[in-house]
Amino acid sequence: MRKDGGGLIFLMISHEIANTFKLPFLSDLYSNFSSEYPIFESLIANDIPYDSKSSFSLYINHRKTFTGITDNDRSLTIKRFSEIVKKNYENQKNNSPMKKLGEEFRSPGHVPICIASEKPLSSRFGHTELSIALLTMAGLTPVASGCEIMGDDGKASSKEKVKEYAKNHNLTFLEGKEIIEAWNSWSK
């Protein structure tokens, strides 16, 4: 992802997982602490052109990482986070999921977590919601990692270039509208 994608590498989780682990939206933290730290009020992301609220939550590192930024460190963080969430689902809800998260992770870190909207693909149609919808339809734990594929010009790659990349690497290319159509049929 770092070499071929180039965008921010992040975790995407369902709204249910965020609730289970009591993960806040950063914008809510900024609002709640703006009286103590006035800078937060001026930084609140309330003018996003594609949504009313940023989906970013905490940034984490696994406690066994060094700086947290290397490929190996971020991989460990993403892998262990996914394993803990999956284990929590399989065990029909751990009694203390927050404790387990705190034992293995620290924040701030180098892997941001984005929380999908409560009803994916009904009010928000971003990478996070699209990924969570795919995982949910497949019956998999709704945790994914991803990044935007950037072009050499520093902008997001065009759909045509991403299709070409997928073809050259024997990957399946899905458009957002295809996922939305499948979700709308599946979730009825």
Query: pLDDT at position 93, please?
Result: 62
Domains of the chain: 10-186 (3.90.870.10)
HSE-CB at 106 with a 13 A cutoff on CA atoms is 7
d(CA 105, CA 170): 35
More confident residue, 60 or 48: 60
Q: What is the pLDDT of residues 83-118, one digit of tens each?
A: 999 988 777 666 678 888 999 999 999 999 999 999
Q: What is the pTM of this model?
A: 0.91
Contact 144, 11 (CB under 8 A): yes
Residue 42 has pLDDT above 70, yes or no: yes
In contact, 12 and 148? CB cutoff 8 Å: no
Q: Which residues pair with 150 in a beta bridge?
A: 156
β-pair partners for 40: none
